[in-house]
Amino acid sequence: MGKMPGRRDWLVWFKGVHVFFPSVKRWSSASLLLLWSSSSFRIRGVKIEALVEMELCKAHYCSWSKSMNPFPHNSKMSCFQVTRDRRISTFFITNSYSSSNSKPTDEMIVSVVGGTGFIGKRLVQRLHSDNHRVFVLTRTRSKALSVFPARDYPKVEVAEEPEWRNCIRGSTAVINLAGTSISTRWSSEVKKDIKESRIRTTAKVVDFINGSPKELRPKVFVSATAVGYYGASDTQVFDEGSPPGNDYLAEVCREWEAAALGVDEEVRLALIRIGIVLGKEGGALAKMIPLFMMFAGGPLGSGRQWFSWIHVDDLVDLIYEALINPSYKGVINGTAPNPVRLAEMCDQLGSILGRPSWLPVPEFALQAVLGEGAYVVLQGQKVLPTRAQQLGFPFKFPYVKDALRAIMS
């Protein structure tokens, strides 16, 4: 066989091994890819340089050494070496790999409650980009359609509350991110809505899952909760095994999680206790950036309160991994491995923006504006993602400085 010019794929078939086809950007049950190319390409997010110019010839199969493996530790990799005239070219193949960068071979159908919020929007975009079908379960169709217009998101369908049952029935998985914002002035009515919006929605979703015929019942339920479960402390360190606190937010989280725990025992449940999510499009950081840009930035209150944060991309990856990885079940803290004091976070943000962090907001001013809701920003907790680390989750942004720099770049 003569030399194959230009950029082309040549396949040698061996049964039962999965390989990536750059030409069609998907995985298949073929065994081996020989790439005639002078280009680079990606295998599940890992860049591989391929400089190949050769003819099909005698081939030898071998395993590679650990030092050669550019893939994450949990991948099962081998290499195929083709030799001719003393030239060796190596091709990478895999038969098992699961990480936050991986894509399951099968299309999923995922129902997302709270899909138009800061986190939900990013998650739906990720699912859509990986070619999964998504139902955005909402109470306001017009808002959801403005976020996910059909021309840009052909595999995203918007469903209002009367349609939720039919969407959940037959879904591969359900993700629940719904809940009224707590970053507001608390009145008795607001506090009631904060609690009921979470518990009522979660209970309804659980009823729809449990009421589905067994053959149509979702296999996975990922439900958000919050690090407020642990209460507030300046001295304690919390992980998934820590007991709940005894304040209002801890009470909300306990009842929120209890509603999710009512799901059928055959459905794998992952409860993600989410910390303060950092991103430019929403959350606490989006409110802080304009103040710093106007030279009015600084810590809230004493600045000594713990700030257990996570970059929005890491949180989306964590939720995505919980969908596809059967090891992800039970409580998992959605926080970065290195929480900081709020004053340090503000110093880092000011440094990256080229602005001083010099104007602290006193407690009395926050209490005048937010009332009892000031508790959310004046108190904190040091929370560690022990379970995620045990599972080998690869945080892209373990340090707040790197996270802020990436967000502001």
Q: What does the pLDDT look like over 190-226, one tens digit per residue?
A: 899 999 999 999 999 999 999 999 999 999 999 999 9
Closest CA to 238 of 266, 204, 273: 273
DSSP H/E element including 92: strand 87-96
Whole-angstrom Cα distance, residue 93 to residue 70?
12
The DSSP letter of residue 13 is -
Q: What is residue 373's predicted lDDT score, i.e. its pLDDT?
A: 59
Q: What is residue 5's predicted lDDT score, i.e. its pLDDT?
A: 35
Tens digit of each residue's pLDDT (9 = 90 or more) over 337-360: 999 999 998 999 999 999 988 777
Q: What is residue 377's predicted lDDT score, i.e. its pLDDT?
A: 72
Enter the tokens of residue 6: 């230009």
Q: What is residue 186's predicted lDDT score, i.e. its pLDDT?
A: 80
Q: What is the dihedral of CA 113, 117, 118, 120, to 10 degrees?
A: 20
Say yes or no to pLDDT of 61 above 90: no
HSE-up (13 A, CA, CB side) for residue 277? 25
Residue 335: count of CB within 10 angstroms of its CB: 31
Whole-angstrom Cα distance, residue 157 to residue 153?
8
66 versus 318: which is more confidently predicted?
A: 318
Q: What is residue 176's predicted lDDT score, i.e. its pLDDT?
A: 98
Average pLDDT in the chain: 78
The DSSP letter of residue 138 is -
What's the whole-number mean pLDDT along residues 321-333? 97
DSSP H/E element including 61: strand 59-62
Whole-angstrom Cα distance, residue 389 to residue 403?
18
What's the whole-number mean pLDDT along residues 150-168? 96
267 versus 37: which is more confidently predicted?
A: 267
Q: What is residue 285's predicted lDDT score, i.e. its pLDDT?
A: 83
Closest CA to 161 of 141, 187, 189, 191: 141
Residue 197: count of CB within 10 angstroms of its CB: 16
Say yes or no to pLDDT of 306 above 70: yes
Q: What is residue 251's predicted lDDT score, i.e. its pLDDT?
A: 95
